[in-house]
Structure 1
Amino acid sequence: MTLPWYFDVLGLPAHADGIAVRRAYAAAIRHMDPATDPDAFQHLRRAYEAARARCEQMDTAATTSGEASAGGPALAASGAMGGAADKEDKPSPEESPALPVDYTVTLAWRFAADVGARRAEGIPRMLDDILAELRTQYIDAPGQFEEHLIDLLGLQRIAHRAEVFAAAETRFHWNEVGHLAALGQRGGWVDVVLSQREAWLTLAADRRQTWLELFARAEARLDNALLRHWPELAKLNERFPAWLSLYLSRETLQAWRMGFDTQSAAAPKSSYRRMGRSAAVVLAVIGVVGLASVAVNDLLRSPSLSPMSFLSASFSGDTPRRCMELYMELDKPDAFAGKQPDEVDALKARAHHCQRAGHWRAQTSSSPSLSGTDVMPR
């Protein structure tokens, strides 16, 4: 006997039961995106519905006829269907009876699309509307939708997962004893998320808030400031992987880790990192004020020269009297006429130093004489 096409699609033998059919379907759908390949998804869904209907017919026939073999009920069911099962046995899906896609699957994907297009604040109301619609359908519709929703959350095929999870938790009573156990592996995943959330809440509130803000930034765009947080994030992800999956996609986590590794690998090649922050500040000042290379080399060769002493040495001659002289010089309309850009930068840097020292002003009668001895800074 030819293997029924729907068992062939699901990769099952002819004697597969309903449990095997559900497991095979759940495994196959994890490797498929209905949004990008709707035809393949509908073909898989038709196979699932046909296989499930066949198993139910076999179970019913076995109950009524008392036959123990799998072949007897199948033949009896075929006769009751008026030859419909014979058509299903053909390998070509085009010749099989057209079975509609499960309404709850369509509703779940429609909900996922709506969530991605709207604000997170509207998710509870959207879910309430969906459940109200489901209650007008067959009795198992809400439960089947719940299973599809958990799949969307676990596979990260829906936006605003944390908000969706919170809304679904209350509406599907995930905290009730025994409910999650009835959901099988899906319920086990939800239970893990809830347990990790309880552990997450033991962290300091300000720390949790900071990390949630970083997660939102990372989902929008990863930058160098975020990459440096990877070591601590990696530890968090080891403790709360299921809970964090509601906030960070697998793609973001992978990009975060790879970005940090790349940044760390490049760090030893950076001259700024080799010299350290203090030396980098020194070089930045050198570039701004445009000091002569000979003087710079002399300063850097001094083993006892600290960055602060270097900065002080750069402007050591700018006493209050000289600051006033500089003020008078730069107060002229043509103060920078005929000067090179490096000279202009150096004068501006000196003026900034004088201003910070409190000496950036014109000479007054109480000011020290320009011809007299320099007054030491206060």
Structure 2
Amino acid sequence: MAARQMDDDTPEFLQVLGLDSDASAREIRGAYARQLKRIEPAAQPQAFQELREAYEFALHWVAEDAKPARHAEPATPESARQLQHANAQATARAMLEEFKLSIAGQPPRDTEDARLRLRAALDDPRLQDLDARFTFEGGVANLLADGWRPGHQHLFGPAVLCFEWRTDRPRLKAYGHSGTIIDKAIGELEIHQTQPAARREEQREVIRDLRRETPPARGEASYSPDFMRQVIASYPNWLHVVTHTANLTLWHEDGIAASRRSRSEAARKLGRAVGMAVKWLLVLAVAGVLAWAWLSEGDVIPHGAGLAASQPDDASGRGALETPPAARAVDDAK
């Protein structure tokens, strides 16, 4: 650390921050945030290192609450860094949980809403420490890479801009598997944006559909399982972040189950129809047999009925058959 003029009461690391010996942890964070904005770490590495060391010593000094011995030598740089790193991680994890609960409880309405909420978190003095900021940034990357939740489609773009992931993508490697997913998602989004406008809109209809709780009707123009699979295969990481790609599998399984239920119900209906038809055919057959028997019985002539019918019933008492003309002529000659 560069030599500075010191008074008898204020440690040098507090002077670097422009504070006196009564400074609180909150004042130390605020002072660090203000001075950090005046320094470009890449262009002024020495000034940045000096400010960072002063900040770490100051926080450690306040945490130890060693006011009776403030003129004693501060803790070693290594112990101060370890303590500060632990404190920063704890702070960042607490803020990350607050942010995640906010996103889950009330998903962002749009990209601007997500940007304002993320910006508010990053501007919090508790995240001005680089370790805390790094931990919080990694937590947001993990949140997005873990898969889509309502509102994540609005959070992805602001996160890429606020954390400068698009312009400094090698930094994402520090976040392991989550960073790899985010890095690939950014690349796939760039490919999507190079598509013709009509093609992009067609694909975006599929993306919007995949966020629905129920599948779109098969008659809708945007619904095509094969086209959905093609879009998901083209942007697997980006769509994993901004939409619910598992819906397609769920809908496919539901469709198969519904088709099986439909076929089973159709088979049952057909069985019932065939059964009724067989019953009616049997009824008609029995009725036909009975009708034929009844009609046949009415047409039969009893034995001797014809002879009786030919006999006259007048008083002359002649035989049943009249005498032939030839016989009458013989009778007359006699």
TM-score normalised per structure 1: 0.40
RCO comparison, higher one (Cα < 8 Å, 6+):
2
TM-score normalised per structure 2: 0.44
